[in-house]
Amino acid sequence: MNILIIGSGGREHAITWKVSQSEKVKNIFVIPGNPGIEKEDKVQVFDIQDPSIQDYINFAKEHNIDLTIVGPEAPLVDGIVDEFEKNDLLIFGPTKKAAQLEGSKNFCKEILNSGGVLTAEHQSFTDSISAVNYIKQHSLPIVIKADGLAAGKGVFILNNKEEASKLVNDLFTGNVDGVNCSIIVIEDFLKGEEASFICLVSNDSVIPLASSKDHKRLNNGDRGPNTGGMGAYSPTKLIDDSIADKVIKDIIKPTLNELKKRGINYSGFLYAGLMIDENKNPFVLEYNCRLGDPEAQAILMRLESDIIDMLLATINNKLDDLNIEWSKFSACTVVLASQGYPGKYEKNKKIDGIEHEISGTKIFHAGTKSKNEDIFTSGGRVLGVTALGVNLQVAQAKAYDRANQVHWEGKIKRHDIGDKEINNKFIFS
C-alpha cells in the first residue's frame, strides 16, 4: 500500500514509525514530516507549506495513495475526511461534523449534557457582560475555555475574579495571543487525577487502546502553566478494567448516541480527557478527535499489532473482529522542550547526542529541523524520548538515561514523569 501521513510532530513520528513496520506498506509519504520522520523506513517527506485540502487530494491522486492518516486535529475539523470521501479516497478519521467534539467546546458540552455524561457544570456566553456577572457569583478556582481550536492555548484556570473578568473581556475583544473566539465556556474546577482514554470508534463499536497518562503542567509536581504535554506513560492503573468499562458504558456510548441523534456517525480515534474523582467517578474534561501527543508515543511503543489492520478495520466497520496485541511492558515518554515553552521559546539550537542508542528506547522528533547533517531545535516541544521497560520504573529510568544524553543550550524537561504512579501517590491509592 501507499500511505499518506499528514503532520509534523512527535505523534506523527510515532504513527509513521509504526506504519513503516507493516508488511502491507510499500511507500509512506509524509506532509510535511520532520527530520526524524524522514529517517524511517519507506518514508519520503514533502515539505509543502500551508497545503489546502485540495492540495492533499491532488497529492493523494498523483501518488496513488491507498490510505491517508491525519495526525493533528485542524485538518479534521476543517473537513478533510468529507472532501477525501467525495473524491473516493480512503482516509482515516472523523468527518467535519464529528470532529466538532474537539473543534467546539460548546458543542462538546451540549452533547455531554444531553447524553447525561459526567462533566463539569458549565455555562456558555457570547458576551462579556453576562460572563462577568456569572464570574461574580462563581466560586474559585474557575475554568474559562475559548470555544474553538486554540492549539492548547484556550483553557485558563483562574483563582482571582478580577483576572477572570479581564480575561473574558480580552478573549471577546481578540486580545489573547493565538486565541480567536465568539463563544466562551465557563465551568467548575474539578479535582482528581487526569488520565487519557483513547479508543477506536466505528459506528457503534468501540475498542479502547492501551491506557495512558499525560503530564500537562510545565513543572515538576504538576505546577506551572499548562502545556501540550511534557511526558506520558502507558499503561496506567488509573484506568483499571472497571473504570474502562464505566467509561465505555457511561461516557463513550452515550456520546456516540447523542451524535447519532444529530445524524453524525463517528469513525476514527476518539480521545476522552478524563478527571477521575476521589470516588473513582470519571468526568470528561474534553474530547479530542485524534491520538494524544505525547500519549501516542508511549502507546504506540507498546503496540504489537499491525496499525494498518486497526485503521482499516475502523474504516470498514469491522472493529468487532479486531484483536489488538499490546506489550506487557510499560512505556514512558519524556518530552524535551525549548527554553521559554509554552510561551515564546528559543529556536535554532544545535542538538547533540541524539545518535547514542540505548536498546528499548526510541527518540521521536517533534520540533526539529536539519541543516546539512546536523539537527536543530525548531519547536516548543522538540523530542519525545520513549522507552519500554518491564515495569514503569524501568521504562522511566531508561527514558531519562537516554534523555540525559541529548543536549542543547536551554533544553528543559520534567524530572518526574510517572513518579505518582510508581510511588502510589494518586488521591485514591
Quote the least distance from Cβ 210 to ligand AMP, whole Å.
19
Report the DSSP pairing between strands 350-351 and 374-377: antiparallel
Is residue 286 a contact residue for ligand AMP (CB under 6 A)? yes
DSSP string, 180-210: --S-EEEEEPP-SEEEEEEEEEETTEEEE--
Quote the least distance from Cβ 275 to ligand AMP, whole Å.
6
Partner interacting with residue 40 (select from ligand GLY, ligand AMP, none; CB below 5-8 Å by kind):
none
Report the C-alpha gap between 192 and 212 in whole angstroms.
16
* Interactions with ligand AMP, residue window 364-393 (CB under 6 A): none
Is residue 179 a contact residue for ligand AMP (CB under 6 A)? no
Q: Which phi and psi angles does 227 have, rounded to 5°?
A: -130, -175
Q: How many residues bind ligand AMP (CB under 6 A)?
A: 14
Choice between 171 and 285, CB closer to ligand AMP: 285
Residue 266-285 contact track with ligand AMP, rule CB under 6 A, x = bound: -------x-----------x
Partner interacting with residue 155 (select from ligand AMP, ligand GLY, none; CB below 5-8 Å by kind):
ligand AMP
3-class DSSP assignment, residue 39: coil
Partner interacting with residue 299 (select from ligand AMP, ligand GLY, none; CB below 5-8 Å by kind):
none
**One residue of 69, 89, 99, 120 binding ligand AMP per CB under 6 A:** 120
Choice between 132 and 157, CB closer to ligand AMP: 157
Grid cell 512527535 is found at 10
What contacts 50, CB < 8 A, 6 or more positions away? none
Quote the least distance from Cβ 429 to ligand GLY, whole Å.
23
Partner interacting with residue 226 (select from ligand GLY, ligand AMP, none; CB below 5-8 Å by kind):
ligand AMP
| 209, 200 Cβ separation under 8 angstroms | yes
Report the C-alpha gap between 6 and 125 in whole angstroms.
34
* DSSP at 326: B
| 298, 418 Cβ separation under 8 angstroms | no
Choice between 182 and 226, CB closer to ligand AMP: 226
Choice between 72 and 115, CB closer to ligand GLY: 72
Quote the least distance from Cβ 270 to ligand GLY, whole Å.
13
Quote the least distance from Cβ 364 to ligand GLY, whole Å.
13
Choice between 194 and 401, CB closer to ligand AMP: 194
* Interactions with ligand AMP, residue window 186-215 (CB under 6 A): 187, 189-190, 194
Orientation angle between helical segments 10-20 and 307-315, nearest 10 degrees:
100
Distance of CA 377 to the CA centre of its chain: 21
**One residue of 14, 131, 143, 388 binding ligand AMP per CB under 6 A:** 143
What distance, in Å, lies between the first and last C-alpha atoms of the chain?
Answer: 47
Report the C-alpha gap between 212 and 363 in whole angstroms.
18
Quote the least distance from Cβ 294 to ligand GLY, whole Å.
6
Partner interacting with residue 83 (select from ligand AMP, ligand GLY, none; CB below 5-8 Å by kind):
none
Buried b (16+ CB within 10 A) or exposed e, 205-226: bbbbbbbbbbbbbbeeeeeeee
Choice between 35 and 384, CB closer to ligand AMP: 384
Alpha helices in 97-160 (DSSP H): 100-103, 105-114, 128-137
Partner interacting with residue 192 (select from ligand AMP, ligand GLY, none; CB below 5-8 Å by kind):
none
By the criterion CB under 6 A, which residues form the site for ligand GLY? Answer: 214, 228-229, 288, 292-293, 295
Hey, what amino acid is at 395? A
| 234, 391 Cβ separation under 8 angstroms | no
Quote the least distance from Cβ 331 to ligand GLY, whole Å.
15
- Give the containing element (helix H, strand E) for 310: helix 307-315
Quote the least distance from Cβ 219 to ligand AMP, whole Å.
14
Ranges assigned E (strand) in 339-409: 350-351, 361-365, 368-371, 374-377, 381-389
Alpha helices in 248-306 (DSSP H): 253-261, 295-301
| 289, 270 Cβ separation under 8 angstroms | yes
**One residue of 155, 210, 218, 387 binding ligand AMP per CB under 6 A:** 155
* Interactions with ligand AMP, residue window 212-251 (CB under 6 A): 216, 226
Is residue 413 a contact residue for ligand AMP (CB under 6 A)? no
Quote the least distance from Cβ 313 to ligand GLY, whole Å.
23
- Give the containing element (helix H, strand E) for 57: helix 53-62
Report the C-alpha gap between 81 and 97 in whole angstroms.
10
The contact set with ligand AMP (CB under 6 A) reads 120, 143, 145, 155, 157, 187, 189-190, 194, 216, 226, 273, 285-286
